[in-house]
């Protein structure tokens, strides 16, 4: 079966890791690596793999001989750059790994099927890819009035793009906690941990829920464990650090300010602790925050390609 041709814009850490994953894919063909630094390691590696390269940005991509045959473009640049890149590439399917959020938020384990036909899909953020599946799992069995996530990543795995987009990270992730995760309100925090040796990505999900009947502990644990398995199918280093914690909300705990005005007081609070270890394809294993983004992006591209290839086959 013919593979779907793809290009990667951004020859930094994320773009290079994407390329290595695409090169292993049975459904995708790595056609071009696009950068702006002619001396970048990403472009050099692409050339060694026989991949067409350009250091002239999107204009250089459009000038490549087979540019019209490229169906899917990964954008691993920045939120501002993605806006310009999307405008310059009409007709291409865009998978946006920046917080630009032009297209719908996509978390593969939660809502990929709903957006396979979207022209531009947004991969939210690293923290969003790690934690929104958990919020969604809790939402499947209880009313989530409030969900808060804390993503802790190694400082070494936070490059210039990540640091420049901190505000977009919090806004985009908070929004997706609601629109994809199903919480009524959401909040996101990211911590850049300077510890040496660098620590693996850790994520905490805290949710306030309303349970209608009895103790929701077992139903929540089962739902979360099933979701963790679904994410781990495309991010093998994704795992629970300990058993999901569910407990009644103490009567004296002031939680109403976290909820929508007039919302019922929650009955239980849920805490979920996660760890994301990277596959170490190009990035170090501690950079799970970057690996989960590239793994999720490739998962989306492969499913788009499979659908397109099946349509051609029919």
From 34, 43, 126, 235, the catalytic residue? 126
154/16 Cα distance (integer angstroms): 19
The answer to whether the annotation marks 314 as part of a ligand binding site is no
Which helix (H) or strand (E) segment holds residue 48: the answer is helix 41-48
The answer to whether the annotation marks 157 as part of a ligand binding site is yes
CA distances from 48 to 21, 42, 230, 265 (A): 15, 10, 34, 59
The answer to whether the annotation marks 14 as part of a ligand binding site is yes
The answer to whether the annotation marks 12 as part of a ligand binding site is yes
Give 235-255 as a DSSP string. -TTEEESSPPEEEEPPTT---
58/287 Cα distance (integer angstroms): 27
The answer to whether the annotation marks 161 as part of a ligand binding site is yes
The answer to whether the annotation marks 163 as part of a ligand binding site is yes
The answer to whether the annotation marks 139 as part of a ligand binding site is no
By the 10 Å C-beta count (0-12 exposed, 13-18 middle, 19+ buried), 11 is classed as: buried
Query: Which residue in the block uniquely carries the two structure tokens 């705990």?
Result: 253
The answer to whether the annotation marks 45 as part of a ligand binding site is no
**Cis peptide upstream of residue 207 (ω within 30 degrees of 0):** no
- Does residue 141 carry a catalytic annotation? no
The answer to whether the annotation marks 165 as part of a ligand binding site is yes
Provide the 10 A C-beta neighbour count for residue 193. Answer: 16
Binding site listing: 11-14, 157-165, 289
Binding site listing for NAD(+): 11-14, 157-165, 289
- Catalytically annotated residues: 126
């Amino acid at each position: 079966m013919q593979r779907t041709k793809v290009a990667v814009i951004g020859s930094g850490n994320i773009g290079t890791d994407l390329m290595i994953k695409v090169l292993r894919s049975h459904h995708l063909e790595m056609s071009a690596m696009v950068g702006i630094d002619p001396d970048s390691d990403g472009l050099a590696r692409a050339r060694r793999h026989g991949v067409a390269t350009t250091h002239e940005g999107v204009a250089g991509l459009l000038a490549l001989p087979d540019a019209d045959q490229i169906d899917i473009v990964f954008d691993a640049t920045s939120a501002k750059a993605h806006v310009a890149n999307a405008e310059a590439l009409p007709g291409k399917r865009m998978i946006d790994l920046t917080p630009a959020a032009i297209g719908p938020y996509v978390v593969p384990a939660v809502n990929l099927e709903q957006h396979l036909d979207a022209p531009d899909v947004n991969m939210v953020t690293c923290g969003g890819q790690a934690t929104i599946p958990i919020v969604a799992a809790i939402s499947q069995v209880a009313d989530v009035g409030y969900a808060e996530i804390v993503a802790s990543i190694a400082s070494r795995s936070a490059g210039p793009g990540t640091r420049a987009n901190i505000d977009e990270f919090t806004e985009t992730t908070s929004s997706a906690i609601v629109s994809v995760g199903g919480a009524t309100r959401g909040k996101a925090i990211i911590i850049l941990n300077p510890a040496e040796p660098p620590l693996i990505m850790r994520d905490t999900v805290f949710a306030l829920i309303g349970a209608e009947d009895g103790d929701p502990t077992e139903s929540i644990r089962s739902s979360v464990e099933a979701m963790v398995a679904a994410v781990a199918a495309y991010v093998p280093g994704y795992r629970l650090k300990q058993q999901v914690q569910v407990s009644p909300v103490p009567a004296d705990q002031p939680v109403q300010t976290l909820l929508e005005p007039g919302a019922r007081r929650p009955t239980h609070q849920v805490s979920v602790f996660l760890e994301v270890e990277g596959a170490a394809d190009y990035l170090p294993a501690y950079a799970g925050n970057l690996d989960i983004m590239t793994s999720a992006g490739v998962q989306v591209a492969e499913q788009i390609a499979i659908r397109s290839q099946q349509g051609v086959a029919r």
